Amino acid sequence: MRAHIKKKPLRIYYGMNLYRTAAVVTIFSALEHFLGFLYRIILSRTLGPEGLGVYQIAISVFAVFLTVCSSGLPVTLSRVISKHRARGAKQREHAATTSAVLITLLFSVPVTVLLFAARAPFSAIFSDPRCADLFYILLFGLSLTSVYSVIRGCFWGNKQFFSYSLIELAEEMIRILVGVMLLVCIQTGPSGENRAAVAVLVSYVCSFAIALVCFLMRGGKFCAPRGEFMPLLRASLPVTAMRASSSLIGSFISVLFPMRLRAAGHTTAQAMSEYGVVYGMVMPVMAVPSALIGSLALVLVPELSEHYYRKNRRQVAALAEKALNATLLIAGALIPFYAVCGADLGVLLYSNAQSGVLIARCAAALIPMSLTMICTSILNSLNCEKYTLGFFLLGSAVMLGCTWILPRFLGGGALLAGMIGDSCVTAACSLALLRKKTGKLRSVRYFLKLLAALAPAAALGFAARALLMRCMSHIPALILTVLLLAAAEAGMLALFRLCDFKAVLRRFFAKKSKKIAARA
C-alpha cells in the first residue's frame, strides 16, 4: 500500500495533460523561433553583415539594461507563485505580482531618464555612432517591456502556458510584420538599421498592451505588496546578477571583439562583418534547439518548484532526469544534420559560405549549450540561483579569455570557441550540482547510447553527401542527403530504443479512432 502511494504522484504527473501542454508550448515556441529565424535571414540580406553587426551590438547593449531592470523577476516570481499555489495563498500571489511590477518600475524608469540625460557621454562607448542611434530608439520601450516580462512570469507561475506562448508569438509576428514593411516597402528616410529598431520598439509596446489586457481578463489583480516586496527582491537578485552579467559581458564582447580583430590586422568594416556573421548568422542556427528545450523548461519549472517545496525529492529527480534525456535527444538529433549539411546551410540561408563552415565545425557544441540551458532552468527552480550565478561567472571567464587571445588565430571563430568553452564549463558544474541535489542521475548511460546510435547515421550522411554531390546537382543532392540522414537517424534511434515511434503512432491512431467514433 505504501509503495502504491509513493508511485501515484508520478503516474499522475506523467499523464497526458502534461504531454499535451508540453506539445502545445513546443508548437508555439517552434513557430516563434521559425518566424524569428526567417526574419533574421531577411535582416541579413537587407542590412548585410556590417549592418547586421551594428544592429546586433545595439540590441546586446540594450539587453544589459533590460536584464538589470527585469530579467531575474519572471523566473523568481514564477517560483514564488508556485510556492503560494502549493500552500493555497491566493492573496499572496497577487501581492507578489504587484511587488514584481513595482521593483521593475523602480529600476527601469530612473535608468531611462538617466540615459537620456547623459546621451552624449554614454554614446561614446559605441565604436560606431550608428549603434547609439539604434540603442536610443529601443530605450523608449524599456519600462513597458520590463513590466511585460513580469506579467509573463505571472502567467508562467500560474501555468497559463497558452497565454504565455500566444503573447510571445504575437510579439514576434508584430516585429516581423512591421520590420518587413519598414525595410522592404520603405526605401527612403532613416537607415535600414534604424527602421529595424523601430520595429522592435513597436513589438514591445504591442506585447505590453496585449499582456496587460490578458492578465486582467484572466483574473489578475494588483494589491498591496505586504510581506512580498523585499523577499522577492532578495530572491531575484542572484538571477538578475547572472543574466545582467551575461548581457554585460555580451555587450563588452561586442566592443572587445572588434577591437581585438583590429589589433590582429582587420579593418573596422571587416571586424563588424565578422561579428555580424557569428552573432547574426551562426548563433541563430545554433539556437534552434532552444525552441524545444525552452518549451520543455517552461512546462517543467513550475512543477519542479511545487514538488521541491513539498519536499518530494523522488519526483524532482525523475523530472530532472527526463528533462536531461529529452534535451540530449533534441540536441543530439541535430548534430549529424549540422555536421553534414552545415556548410550548405550558410550558403542557402545567408549567401555566406563562412557562416556555413562555422556551423558545421561547431555542431557538437549543441550538447553543452543545450545542457547549460536546461540545467540552469532546473537549478533555478530548486532555489539554487546563487550557484548558477557562480557557474555562469566561471564560464564567462573562459569566454573572455578566448575573446582576448584567439582572434589573432581564429578570427570570427574565436567567439564560437569562447561560447563552446563557456558552455562546457557551465554544463559540467551544473550537472555535478544537479546530481548532488537530486541523487543519482542515469543520463550518462542515455548519452552514451545516443552517441552510439548517431555515429553510424552521421557516417552514412557524410558518405551519401559526397556520393550524391558527384552524381546530381546541388539542391536535389542536398535534399536527398537530408532525407537519407533522417531515415538513418530514425532507424538507429528505434534500434537503440531511444525513441518509441510505435507508441507514438499507436497513440496518434487511437486518438483518430476515438474522434471518428465520437462523430459516428
pLDDT of amino acid 5 = 35
CA distance linking residue 222 with residue 218, whole number of Å? 13
Per-residue pLDDT reduced to its tens digit, 372-404: 988 888 887 787 877 887 888 898 889 888 888
80-84, 244-248, 295-299, 444-448: which is most confident? 444-448
User: What mean pLDDT value characterizes the chain?
Assistant: 81
At 45, the amino acid letter reads R
Q: What is the pLDDT of residue 514?
A: 52
More confident residue, 190 or 509: 190
Q: Quote the pTM value.
A: 0.66
pLDDT over 70 (residue 506): no
Confidence of residue 483 (pLDDT cuts 50, 70, 90): very high
Helix or strand (DSSP H, E) at 181: none
Q: How far apart are CA 193 and CA 229, in angstroms?
A: 39
At 503, list the grid cell. Answer: 507508441
pLDDT at 9 over 80: no
CB 394 within 8 A of CB 444: no
Q: What is the pLDDT of residues 10-68, one digit of tens each?
A: 333 344 455 566 667 777 777 887 788 788 778 877 887 778 778 888 887 888 888 77
> Position 51: which residue type?
G
Considering the chain, what percentage of its residues have pLDDT values greater than 90?
A: 13
Write the pLDDT tens digit of every residue in 403-459.
888 888 887 778 888 888 999 999 999 999 988 888 777 788 889 999 999 999 999
**For residue 7, pLDDT beyond 60:** no
- So where are the chain's domains? 2-441, 455-509
DSSP 442-488: -HHHHHHHHHHHHHHHHHHHHHHHHHHHHHS-HHHHHHHHHHHHHHH
Among 65-69, 160-164, 471-475, 481-485, top mean pLDDT goes to 481-485
pLDDT of residue 13: 37
Q: Would you say residue 213 has pLDDT above 70?
A: yes
Question: Which cell goes with 107?
Answer: 529600476
Per-residue confidence (pLDDT) for residue 459, from 0 to 100? 92
Mean pLDDT of the 330-336 span: 90
- Residue 205: CB atoms within 10 Å: 15
State the average pLDDT over residues 226-250: 76
Q: Answer yes or no: is pLDDT of 113 > 90.
A: yes
Burial pattern 167-202, b for ≥16 Cβ within 10 A else e, equals bbbbbbbbbbebbbebbeeeeeeeebbbbbbbbbbb
How confident is the model at residue 190, as a pLDDT? Answer: 67
What angle do helix axes 129-139 and 192-217 make, rounded to 10 degrees? Answer: 20
